[in-house]
Chain A
């Protein structure tokens, strides 16, 4: 066997093992959600009873509903603020405190969540003392998630904005479009895929968050990850496997469908561009 062939097979082996590592826990979760035995790791036949039990699990269901609401508002607001931040960073190369601004946009990506959670909570407590609001609960959790979501949305939209051809916007300006029209008619359609992926990512981030929610939640505002986390802390729990399988299935369908739509729109746009170039 020559060096190139060894290299090729080593590469395939490494990638396969890597994917096994990445997917093993997900496969295990799904499989054991159908396990009849309450004792984990002992297979005793197929059952759907854990799914049936979920239907009457009021704590989990109300957590899920709250989480979905927060995730929806987080995703919408993160995309708006993240897009503004991305435009500010890409279009305006010079303004006062730009370094501080870009630092503050990027820092939440890596900043340990315990720090963000603690600091935001202490501020909200101080605010509440002074003004009497906001009460800890859904709104405060949303504020924390928005901080995180905004950073992720900004990174995604920024990457897309940089790849845009600035001549398209300049052409629109030359043809007499006002800045607002340039944005809605030219820029927005071109970054719509990035906005969609940013929306989906911030939605799942919010749906998944434990640490910020734990700091910022109040009495009666227990999100689904908090319910899962408190059960997972105590040990293995088949109800967690069942809800996990449902979430994994939904997210997979959502992401695959979204990337299919994005890829199709990309193809259509490329074809239209090519047609326009030929016509011109």
Chain B
């Protein structure tokens, strides 16, 4: 009996692991290896040349590394990488500054209210991201609600002073509109992991701190913030990594000054039809995000181990 059960279980185990594993190897891992290969291929008139050729009994390997060379030498590419990283970092910091207090007050709200608040954070996340980004175009263009509000408060002078907009009254297609759009889009990705972390915190620790004479402010920095470290890391990675390669937001809200690597890849592929160069840009992008990606994966795995 138990032997039969085990063999059925073993077959089940094989299928449960094997099917998604095989699928991911085939459609996630293999395509990336192909990109790696094409990034060192020669471009022919309509398509790329094979790296390995078999001709007259001679196996020829031709690697074209000039794409990588131009990536390093060409200032345009280099500046694009720097600005992608810069805008992603600024967006992450802004999301954290806005999202941390937001998640904190959500987690400390009345217990009956929390499901509703959570639902309200999730709801925009369910409605189309493309349309919400598009809506900012209207809000920030001339006489849009947000544009009038910012001008009314005199904030545009401040933005101008920081060099975030080129001229007073022009908010669209600037570094400001780009960062605003990315912060807006990715804010829920910061709030949700922080909230689930802060909601689980043992509040007795704060009572203990207060009994020992710590002020609320000190207790917040010495207890709440360190304990929410995992949430901060998860949220920051969920914002930073996709922002580095973001395409839609820079295309709709960014301007000529805000070239980002996602747009470069897109243009190399769709406008220049240079597949090897697009692949090179993709490989370089992966190199930029590989460390944050590893941190994110480690955190996800740890979160899993801890829960069970």
Judge whether B233 is part of the interface by a CB distance below 8 angstroms.
Answer: no
Verify B293–A179 contact, CB threshold 8 A: no
Could you tell me which residues of chain B, from 16 to 43, have a CB within 8 Å of some CB in chain A? Answer: 16-17, 19-21, 23-25, 27-32, 34-35, 38
Give per-residue flags for A1-28: 1 if the beta carbon is below 8 A from chain B beta carbons, else 0.
0010001000110110011011111101
| CB-defined contacts of B278 to chain A, threshold 8 Å | 118
| CB-defined contacts of A110 to chain B, threshold 8 Å | 237-238, 241-242, 289, 293, 296
| CB-defined contacts of A114 to chain B, threshold 8 Å | 245, 247, 262, 265-266, 282, 285
Judge whether A232 is part of the interface by a CB distance below 8 angstroms.
Answer: yes
Segment with Cβ contacts to A, from B68-76, B135-143, B224-232: B135-143
Segment with Cβ contacts to B, from A48-56, A89-97, A188-196: A89-97
Give per-residue flags for B126-146: 1 if the beta carbon is below 8 A from chain A beta carbons, else 0.
111111101111110111111
| CB-defined contacts of B285 to chain A, threshold 8 Å | 112, 114-115
Verify B8–A178 contact, CB threshold 8 A: yes
CA separation between A29 and B274, bound complex, in Å? 37
CA separation between A208 and B131, bound complex, in Å? 9
Judge whether B257 is part of the interface by a CB distance below 8 angstroms.
Answer: no
Report if A232-B252 is in contact (Cβ < 8 Å); known contacts: A18-B98, A109-B238: yes
Judge whether B269 is part of the interface by a CB distance below 8 angstroms.
Answer: yes
> Which residue of chain B has its CB nearest to the CB of A144?
B27
Tell me the minimal C-beta distance from B47 to chain A in angstroms: 8
Contact of B123 among A42, A88, A255 (CB under 8 A): A255
| CB-defined contacts of B187 to chain A, threshold 8 Å | 18, 21-22
Verify B126–A201 contact, CB threshold 8 A: yes
> Which residue of chain B has its CB nearest to the CB of A19?
B120
CA separation between A275 and B123, bound complex, in Å? 34
Give per-residue flags for A211-230: 1 if the beta carbon is below 8 A from chain B beta carbons, else 0.
10011000000000100110
Contact of B31 among A28, A95, A122, A228 (CB under 8 A): A122
SS class, residues of chain B in contact with chain A: helix
Contact of A211 among B19, B30, B143, B248 (CB under 8 A): B248
Verify A41–B138 contact, CB threshold 8 A: yes
Judge whether B301 is part of the interface by a CB distance below 8 angstroms.
Answer: yes
Report if A207-B307 is in contact (Cβ < 8 Å); known contacts: A41-B143, A88-B16: no
Contact of A248 among B38, B131, B262, B286 (CB under 8 A): B131
Segment with Cβ contacts to B, from A58-66, A79-87, A131-139: A79-87
Q: Which of under 10, 10 to 19, 20 to 34, or 35 or more describes the interface residues of A?
A: 35 or more
| CB-defined contacts of A76 to chain B, threshold 8 Å | none
| CB-defined contacts of B296 to chain A, threshold 8 Å | 106, 110
Tell me the minimal C-beta distance from A39 to chain B in angstroms: 9
Segment with Cβ contacts to A, from B56-64, B100-108, B155-163, B200-208: B100-108
- Point out which of A82, A89, A118, A154 has the most chain B C-beta atoms below 10 A from its C-beta: A118
Verify B145–A107 contact, CB threshold 8 A: no
Verify B16–A115 contact, CB threshold 8 A: no
Report if A28-B135 is in contact (Cβ < 8 Å); known contacts: A228-B130, A251-B126: yes
Judge whether A123 is part of the interface by a CB distance below 8 angstroms.
Answer: yes
Judge whether A280 is part of the interface by a CB distance below 8 angstroms.
Answer: no
Tell me the minimal C-beta distance from A142 to chain B in angstroms: 11
CA separation between A95 and B13, bound complex, in Å? 10
Can you list the 7 inter-chain pairs with the closest CB atoms, starting with the nearest? A112-B245, A25-B135, A119-B31, A11-B105, A123-B31, A85-B20, A110-B241
- Which residues of chain A have a CB within 8 Å of any CB of chain B? 3, 7, 11-12, 14-15, 18-19, 21-26, 28-29, 32, 40-42, 81-82, 84-85, 87-92, 95, 97, 99, 101-116, 118-120, 122-123, 126, 143, 146-147, 150, 154, 158-159, 162-163, 173, 178-180, 200-201, 204, 207-208, 210-211, 214-215, 225, 228-229, 232-233, 235-236, 240, 244, 247-248, 251-252, 255, 259
Residue pairs across A and B with Cβ atoms less than 8 A apart, 12 shown, are: A19-B120, A24-B145, A88-B20, A112-B285, A112-B289, A114-B285, A118-B265, A118-B282, A150-B24, A179-B12, A229-B248, A244-B135
- Besides the known contacts A81-B23, A179-B8, A210-B130, 14 further A-B residue pairs in the complex with CB atoms under 8 A apart: A15-B106, A18-B102, A28-B144, A89-B304, A92-B16, A107-B28, A112-B242, A114-B282, A122-B31, A122-B35, A158-B304, A180-B8, A247-B131, A252-B123
